[in-house]
Structure 1
């Protein structure tokens, strides 16, 4: 049985593609891609849900591991890509956080919400006025 496993391992390791796919240089970044995928998906959510401290920590984390992925031998470009995507996403989230909490985005959102609410109320009152006119015309 051990000879069969040893032969299968030798067959896998003799092909560069399967050797790479069976290595931690491949599966580490693949399993790590959940972080940047989640970060990209979070760019569609409301900026009031963003944690500034966590975003800053993830920016530092991704920058560190982008550097690490190029410092190891052989260079791990898949890990670099994973952390590059995460770095870009986290910087986007950081900008959204700063814009919303520190650069007037929250006030602009509140003003837009009150404008929309006022327009809805005006439309409701107009609809009630038209409804009462229609009811008066129908009763005649």
Structure 2
């Protein structure tokens, strides 16, 4: 049974013998890098970068559901991109617009 599933994946129109498999697989690197940036201070995050990651994720998630054949690898990587981008944008917006200014320490 496992060999038939592997053979079906291997011969799928969006399988490992095509660019339709490898492009989204390497695109996971963007999501992984964005997850690694969760430890980065919010003031070091970039609005244009995170907007681009989020928009790309949302647009291509939708596209991956309407193309034939369905490319679930493309769908999943773009959902991850949208999610990490939204999280990073939320961190940046909270820091820039909703954080309390730190009180200045009085020096004598």
TM-score bracket for this pair, using the shorter chain length: 0.7 to 0.9
Q: Which has the higher contact order (CA 8 A, sep 6+)?
A: 2
Please give the TM-score of this superposition, normalised by the length of structure 2: 0.80
Q: Among residues 39, 44, 50, which one is paired with 2:34 in the alignment?
A: 39
Detail structure 1 runs of 4+ shifted over 6 Å in the superposition: none
Q: State the aligned residue count.
A: 97
Which residue in 2 is equivalent to 1:132? Answer: none
- Counterparts of 2:98 and 2:37, CA distance in 1: 20
Q: Which runs of 5+ in 1 are unaligned?
A: 1-14, 119-140
CA offset at residue 93 of structure 1? 0.3
1:70 and 2:60 are equivalent in the alignment: no
Displacement after TM superposition at 1:44 (Å)? 1.3
Distance (Å, rounded) in 2 between the aligned partners of 1:83 and 1:43: 18
Q: Which has the higher helix share?
A: 1
CA-atom RMSD in angstroms:
1.9
